[in-house]
Amino acid sequence: MEAAHYVIRLMEQDDIPQVAQIDREAFPGEWVFRSQSAYRRDLGNSSVRYVVACKRGAMAEYRTQKTEKVSWFKRLFTHERAANVREDIVGFSGFWMMMREAHIIAIGVRDRCRRLGIGEGLLIATVELAQMCNANVVTLEVRASNEIAQRLYKKYGFQVTGRRPKYYSSNGEDAIIMSTDSIASMPFQASFQELRDDHARRHPELQLLIS
């Protein structure tokens, strides 16, 4: 099977229908399901940031900065998508900026694209974007029963800081509140860099930015 290629980039208006579809698929019955008009409003809100993971077609051509010294995440802001190439959005993530706290709204991946490292890649991109927005900490809520997600977040330095009883309206399940230490600290950045490099080694088929 030919390896798929993906790029993670900032969300755009044309992505909204597919993102809303993933939202419904990944979070059935939860409050996180939002209308397309809500996503359009968010894209005009300077306090909200979204990124998407796109599956790239074989004919898609991207132009990036020539220098090899620029990080993959900084380079993704400079690429230009080829005209008339329809991208298949396979995942998304986003956060609200409140003071210097980046609160993750959701990380969602299409069912058919799970266990490919895309969700972890979106988490990496989200934390990096939070750093670029001068956030000091990153926070989120996760279902108490979602142990797989909790293990991933703990791996990236998130710690349990609280619990919201009956937070999820779909079934009354509790939410676990998790937060990082300062993402600007040297210990966090050193650990994060190591984890990001390890993710790239484990998922060479997932080219977050294809030059």
Catalytic residues: 141, 153
Tell how strand 48-55 and strand 159-168 pair up.
unpaired
Q: Where are the alpha helices (DSSP H) in 44-185?
A: 72-76, 118-132, 147-155
- Cβ contact 127:138 at 8 Å: yes
Beta carbons of 19 and 39 less than 8 angstroms apart? yes
Identify any residues that bridge with 98 across adjacent strands, giving them in sequence order: 101
Residue 168 phi, psi (nearest 5) = -90, 120
In order of 124, 149, 194, the CA distances from 191 in angstroms are 12, 19, 5
CA dist 191 and 188 (Å) reads 5
SS3 at position 26: helix
